[in-house]
Amino acid sequence: MTENEQLLDKVVEQARDVRPWGWPSLPAPVEEAALARAEATLGFTLPPLLASLYLRVGDGGFGPEYGLLPLLDSAPSGEPAAVPQYLANRESGRRDPAWPWPEGLLPISHWGCGMYACVDCDTPQGMVLLYEPNADDARQAWYVDASSLAEWLQAWLDGTGWYEESHEGADLALWPDFATRTGAPAVTRTV
């Protein structure tokens, strides 16, 4: 059994026991056809672990805080699904070039106040970034949450994520690739 398969088993176990706010039950996993439709709409493939979460665990409704967003259809809590939210964010970035939404950054979890956890689908390990739109400018709105989706999920399972009360005040580094991925000048700062 691979490390990802072991991690998926732990996520399945936790997902059965813990309901994020607004989720009365764990949704069924998506079908392969739904995943293919999502990837065709996005124009890129999901990292293997993220695809496995949707195919094996459920169509959102598990994970930290409000849980993972569903892939294509809105959540029972009214949260938009990941694919439509990505498309809306990209369109918003085209309308307001000062706040571009980088290609391939799929929002997977909403933190409230417009903040999202996003998976970088351009990386095979699925780096997870925190989008914080309340920053002074877009260059200061993207932070590295975890170097991989596996690391991000493990932090949730272990209760060691930055969002846990025990880690209040933890600093996240700015995402160094923002300028490269958007053409914007870089800045350095941590929160």
Rounded to an integer, the average pLDDT of 53-67 is 92
| Domain presence at residue 72 | yes
Would you say residue 112 lies in a domain?
Answer: yes
Residue 51 binned pLDDT confidence (cut-offs 50, 70, 90): very high
Q: Which domain holds residue 111?
A: 3-182
Does 96 fall in a domain?
A: yes
How far apart CA 130 and CA 128 sit, in angstroms, is 7
Residue 8 in domain: yes
Whether 189 is covered by a domain: the verdict is no
Burial of 28 (0-12, 13-18, 19+ CB in 10 A): exposed
CATH number, domain at 8?
3.40.1580.10
Q: Is residue 48 in some structural domain?
A: yes
- The tally of domains found in the chain comes to 1
pLDDT at 189 over 50: no
Mean pLDDT of the region 27-41: 97
| Residue 191 is assigned to a structural domain of this protein | no
Please tell me whether the overall predicted TM-score, pTM, comes out greater than 0.85 for this model: yes
At residue 183, the pLDDT reads 81
Rounded Cα distance, 43 and 57, in Å: 23
CA-based nearest residue to 106, from 124, 126, 91:
126
Residue type, 96: D
